[in-house]
Structure formats: structure tokens, C-alpha cells
Amino acid sequence: MTASLSVNLNAIAMLRNRRDLPWPNVIGIGRIALAAGAAGLTVHPRPDQRHIRFSDLPLIRALIDDEFPEAEFNIEGYPTSGFLELIARNEPEQVTLVPDDPAQSTSDHGWDLKRNADFLEPIIRRLKNQGARVSLFIDPDPEAPEAAKKLGADRVELYTGPYGATHDDAKRAAIELEKLTLTAVAAENAGVAVNAGHDLTVANLPALVEKVPNLVEVSIGHGLTADALVHGMAGAVERFLDALKV
């Protein structure tokens, strides 16, 4: 099984927001990504709207519904009341819950599922009752998938930032990859599907896919956007899809 690719549009939106101008066009870039073979689009709307704006969400929803009905919309973020309202209004197929502080520049750690169990369980139940698949962003930890399953989550998303940071150190990469592998095995045993995201590239994806055969989805923004500066968005999507084939 080849993992699907969801293209994160946050970096595109952040570039747009540097000027009070409508380009690069987030919806247009999303259309190119989906036409090139991406299985879905991901956004992480933060309270200050410093990249994806709340007004972008219904436009992305409409793009998928009207032009790519087989694709999925994944909205990730910390489940404040405002975030949950955005979910209810825009009806993503998947919600990825992330333990971000609003001031963080990007996601940099997973949930402590034991400490946050009472907080997360009713939120997960609420989202699933609305028809969304729920994924929990976790650090590599073999105990986390079983905890996620008990809370009602459908998937876990492996935080691959430490793995991505080893781009110039093969020994460290092997160590981080082993942590991810052990967590993915635990997820399979727990009956929880596995997503992955953060600092994934054309160079480091094949090793991850080879070691984690139960990987079902990767969400990629920064590395894919950087690749698109050289190869164009369609070319970058094609390159990442090739990297997912082991």
C-alpha cells in the first residue's frame, strides 16, 4: 500500500500574507497540487491567522467538493472553542489535533496523552459524531498509540521533525527512524492507522516508507513548498509521490 500525500498549504499562505495582495493564490496552488495527484490538502489555522486565514477554509472546502470530490480536507490545530467552530463550519474529512501553543512558529512536539486524556476524550467524541476522522499528533513513543486508541482516535500522526533534522547525519537518522518504526509497530498492534508529518523531504521519505509499511498518509508543507520553488508545484507533487513508492 502506498501512503497518500496531503499537501499543506500553510507556507503558500504565509508567502501570500507578506503583502496585501491575492498572490500566490492559495486556492489556485491547491488546485494544481490536487490535479498533480495529491490525495488531499492540509491547513493549520492558528488564532492570529499568520498564514492560513479563516476565510480560506470554505474556499478550500468548495475546491474539493466541486472539482476533486475524491480528495480529503485535513484541518489540524489545537482544539480551542474557536478551532472547533471552524471544524463544524468547514466539515473536513480529517481533523488532526496538535498540542500547539498559539505563539509557536510551528508544531514541535506531540501530545502527552496521559496528562491530556480528560481534555481530549470528549473533543474526539464530538468530532467523530460530526463525521470527521480524528488523528492525534504524537512523539515517537510505543505507548502512545494504545493510549490514542483508548481515547477514541482513528489515527496517530508521527511527529517526524527530529528525523527530518538529521538530514546531514546518517547515524542520527537511523536512530530517529528506529523510534518511528517502533511506534508504528505499536500502532498496528493497537489497531490505529499511522500518518506522519514534519520536515519530510524527497530525500528522507523512502527510508521512512520502507521502515513503516503501515503508513497511510503523509502531510507535507515546508519541504514540498521548497521543492516547488525549483520544480513547480505540480512537479514537486509528482516528485513526492514517486518518493512514496518503495
Residues recorded for the chain: 246
> In which element (H, E) is residue 137 found?
strand 133-138
pTM listed for this prediction: 0.96
Catalogue the long-range contacts made by 114-118 (C-beta closer than 8 Å, 24 or more residues apart): 114/147, 117/147, 117/150, 117/151
Mean pLDDT of each 10-residue bin along the chain, 246 residues long: 95 96 97 98 96 98 98 97 98 96 71 97 98 98 98 98 95 97 98 97 98 97 98 98 94
From the list 128, 110, 101, 113, the residue with the least C-alpha distance to 197 is 110
Q: Which of 72, 76, 157, 217 is catalytic?
A: 76
Q: What is the pLDDT of residue 104?
A: 61
4-243 CATH fold: TIM Barrel (3.20.20)
Q: Is there a catalytic annotation at residue 44?
A: yes
Q: Is there a catalytic annotation at residue 76?
A: yes
Q: What is the pLDDT of residue 82?
A: 96
From the list 137, 136, 181, the residue with the least C-alpha distance to 163 is 181
What are 186's three cell numbers? 505499536
Q: For the chain, what are the domain ranges? A: 4-243
Q: Which of 44, 51, 72, 157 is catalytic?
A: 44
Q: What is the pLDDT of residue 108?
A: 72
Q: Is there a catalytic annotation at residue 72?
A: no
